Copies of this chain bind each other. A is one copy, B any other.
Amino acid sequence: MAEDSWIAVDAMGGDEGLAVMLAGVAQARRRNPGLRFLLVGDETAIRAGLQSHPNLTAASEVVHAPELVGSSDKPSQAIRRARTTSMGIAIDLVKKGRAAAAVSSGNTGALMAMAKLALRTMPGIDRPALAALLPSLGENDLVMLDLGANAECDARNLVQFAVMGAAYARAVLDLESPRVALLNIGTEDMKGIDSVRDAAAAIRASTHLPLTFTGYIEGDRLSRGEVDVVVCDGFSGNIALKTAEGTARFVADLLKRAFRSSVRSKIGFLISKPATDLLRHHLDPNNHNGAIFLGLNGLVVKSHGGANAAGVSNAIEVAAKLVRNNLTHRIAEDLAAIEAKAA
């Protein structure tokens, strides 16, 4: 990444407030001294907040935005205020080329709608998809998409998601021909719904794609490290993602209860605390924060609304990594190559 890569940050989005956003940006800056930031939001509040972050102040410019997008604003409402809200202005900075990427912890639906309207989808892509890296037992993380941008998808959307997901895995995970699977409720050909079956047939028929199609995958094998990219509609993808988060927390809670169940297990807990701390670190959603809208002419990263400073910092580092890997360009190249081969 060029030394002067700028990242636009919607400083007002997220449930945790401006102070957490700034602390997160400051943390990312400490770990990546080459980064520079356009902090978008209420100028007075941001300048006041920056007082505690001299290191960040030196690497930032403040871009004033008089308004913000609320967490319950409808996408249609948000779009009308694209020019005055911190989210809309952060995206616009990417459109104008002043920032290499935008990061927001705000309302997902509004972010998706605004980003799509301002940046437009790439040629060959009908709808952008929300993708993220999830932990797995394999050698690399798992790319999963769509995680909630499109509640309903047809086969054509799913095929495009497969191509974009594979490009993402090639760029970020350095895999030559990522193993791609479609999420389904069985592994036999006849299982599932039409859109998934039709997408499988289309991907199988497209032997020129730079990916290795492995067929269907069920929810219980997502984290086994057997595939690199999992493709699904945004409804089931969001449910799978959140169920995985909830289950990890559930197991951790049960473990806590179990450790408290006797003096003996309390002692065992204290002795093995470094091990369980490692586990907690591995499972903390903040350490996997930062989902990206794939398929747009520009990088927009969605940070979890409830992310803490470490989570915000991770989302910014995801953005920085994608800028460094020139993701948008590489997806466009893949799409062009596919079109050329298909022609």
Contacts and interface: CB of A to CB of B under 8 A. Distances in A.
Interface of A: 72, 74, 135-137, 148, 151-152, 183, 185, 188, 190, 192-193, 218-224, 232, 234-236, 238-255, 258-259, 261-262, 264-265, 267-276, 278-279, 282-283
A282 B264 contact: no
Contacts of A270: 268
Contacts of A223: 246-247, 250
A251 B219 CA distance: 15
A185 B262 contact: no
6 closest Cβ contacts across the A-B interface?
Answer: A268-B272, A219-B242, A268-B271, A219-B243, A220-B246, A265-B275
A275 B267 CA distance: 11
A274 B262 contact: yes
A259 B275 contact: yes
Contacts of A244: 219, 243-244, 246-247
Nearest to A249: B220
B222 A243 contact: yes
Contacts of A74: 190
Contact of A236 (B235, B261, B269, B272): B235
A251 B246 CA distance: 12
Contact of A268 (B251, B258, B275): B275
7 contacts: A220-B243, A223-B246, A236-B236, A243-B243, A255-B279, A258-B275, A268-B272
B265 A242 contact: no
B274 A188 contact: no
A265 B258 contact: no
Contact of A272 (B185, B224, B259): B259
Contacts of A232: 239
Nearest to A271: B268
Point out which of A243, A267, A275 has the most chain B C-beta atoms below 10 A from its C-beta.
Answer: A243
B254 A279 contact: yes
A99 to B, nearest CB: 28
Contact of A185 (B72, B192, B239, B251): B239
A266 B54 CA distance: 44
A136 B245 CA distance: 14
B265 A245 contact: no
Nearest to A189: B72
Given A220-B243, A248-B250, A268-B270, 13 more contacts: A72-B188, A148-B185, A151-B185, A219-B246, A220-B242, A224-B246, A247-B247, A247-B251, A251-B279, A255-B255, A258-B278, A258-B279, A267-B272
B274 A264 contact: yes
Contact of A241 (B219, B258, B265, B276): B219
A246 B264 contact: no
Point out which of A74, A224, A279 has the most chain B C-beta atoms below 10 A from its C-beta.
Answer: A279
Point out which of A219, A223, A238, A249 has the most chain B C-beta atoms below 10 A from its C-beta.
Answer: A219
A182 B275 CA distance: 37
B264 A268 contact: no
